[in-house]
Structure 1
């Protein structure tokens, strides 16, 4: 029988493979990133370049079930490379080659190693966006108001982390711009916002389907409550005691008594007329 840890790992792998498959055949995303963004992610330790091919660190499986006392280091291997198919692998390197050729054509004096790394980063960043589109923080936002509140809260936390004065009466914290996100140098949240908006029709359809299923469930619960009330009215609970001690509990059928009806002739006879 599959353990909870194995189930979580398998679910995380499936999410990664879903994002990988979407990104490999995506024709709508227009990802605009720079080498400065790559350098920043490498400096933060988010993009691992210690072995080939490089990968984003948070592509690891979930750590929900890992004990805080566990000191064993994670392998650091991206999950989708363990399950990637041959066709997906070929498509991945095909996209890397296209990005590399485009980069070499635009910049003649770029270092070949840097160009190869940046080509990988472009494809991995695109895969990451599709991956986060299914499990990123924006998936909790139902509408634009929720997203604005999330942005407001993140800017407020950023002001607190950087020890800037926070005025709770203001609509936006210090440094907050209407469409920007804090600490978003590589514009990852901007890309996530665009993907979130693009998925609005599918999300609205999903909400309608959930509401329809919930309406069916609520109607079934209403019928069950009515049946329970009818059953409760049809029986009566009788408890039998002997010298203060409960001896038995029985459910007896309630008998509905109707009002007696007398014929007019009997009424006259009983009245003496």
Structure 2
């Protein structure tokens, strides 16, 4: 049998697309900071409009968090935040209740007296030390200087309506506590501040922090209650390791003493005891939202797989068009060459 192929493949009529260079821009520190503050502002709005959370807090927990440094009403944010390490205010006498959410009138009075903005009514950051801290990230050489990084705050994006809503929430919690016959009013520093008022701020700030952690914690990865149990079991094991580590003092580190390690362990346990209960309750109430997100993710994934299948089929068709050849099959019959068939390869 004789085979006579057409050696020259048919050229494709489709023109190759021109190569274009795409430049990818890496997000700057300011972009990352702005994204974090937008997330914080969304969390704040969610917490201020929430009507389903029921908190069971005590003044003992507030005093414990104040003593341990977990909660500081003069700090922005007042609780130790997930996005960045919190910092203490360096201003003397700036220990009033939740200064960063004060109303515009109190802000104007503060400006006239101290000529310096603080908290959420700060429009411009004049003092860089208040907004920045040393970046002690991993992988920094001992020979290089650490750079400064800015701390995300509620102050930059909070709206006047959110400030008003915050103060309204504090007033409602304060009035509700007085109606329930809580502990009598105790003066802390002056006639304007009392423990009941501070406790009202603490409850509202705690609620905001609860919604913030609901967006950022590992609990958001749990699909069902079995995942929650496994996560809690892992946290118990880590807590036991932290308790054991608290008794070990690294004398080579001048900032680590038996007092600081014990305080860190106390802070961790005190922070997680009641907070875990509230966080799990909020997670359970959001099961409809989680199911809706799962269904949406499955729908998007099905669309992606269908698009990938179409692209693979189109690519295979283009390759067949570019590398197509004709092959003719011949045979000899009675001394003559006779073509049997013609094939497209």
Kindly provide the CA deviation profile for residues 198-240 of structure 1, in whole angstroms up to 9, marking residues without a partner as x.
11111111111111111111122222223333444444xxxxx
2:197 to 108, 116, 136: 116
Give the direction of change, closer, same or farther, for the CA distance of 1:35–1:27 in structure 2 (3 Å limit): same
Pairing of 1:1-273 with structure 2 (within 5 A) = 3-49=27-73, 51=74, 55-58=78-81, 61=84, 66-68=135-137, 70=146, 79-105=153-179, 106-107=181-182, 109-112=184-187, 113-163=194-244, 184=271, 187-235=274-322, 253-257=323-327, 259=329
* Bigger fraction of residues in helix: 1
- Matched residue pairs, number? 230
Give the TM-score of the pair, scaled to structure 1. Answer: 0.71
Point out which structure has higher relative CO (alpha carbons under 8 A, 6+ apart): 2
Do 1:18 and 1:131's aligned partners in 2 also have CA atoms closer than 8 Å?
Answer: no
Deviation at 1:53, TM superposition (A): 8.4
Gaps of 5+ in 2: 1-24, 86-131, 138-144, 188-193, 246-267, 337-345
Deviation at 1:183, TM superposition (A): 5.2
Do 1:37 and 1:185's aligned partners in 2 also have CA atoms closer than 8 Å?
Answer: no
Do 2:38 and 2:157's aligned partners in 1 also have CA atoms closer than 8 Å?
Answer: no
Deviation at 1:103, TM superposition (A): 2.5
Counterpart Cα distance in 2 of 1:60 and 1:268: 89
Deviation at 1:89, TM superposition (A): 0.8
Give the direction of change, closer, same or farther, for the CA distance of 1:16–1:45 in structure 2 (3 Å limit): same
Secondary structure class of the residue paired with 2:60: helix
Counterpart Cα distance in 1 of 2:28 and 2:272: 37
Report the equivalent of 2:113.
none
Counterpart Cα distance in 2 of 1:214 and 1:81: 38
Tell me which moved more, 183-192 or 206-215: 183-192
Counterpart Cα distance in 2 of 1:55 and 1:182: 19
Gaps of 5+ in 1: 165-180, 236-252
Report the equivalent of 2:252.
none
Counterpart Cα distance in 1 of 2:212 and 2:316: 49
Moved over 6 A (4+): 267-270
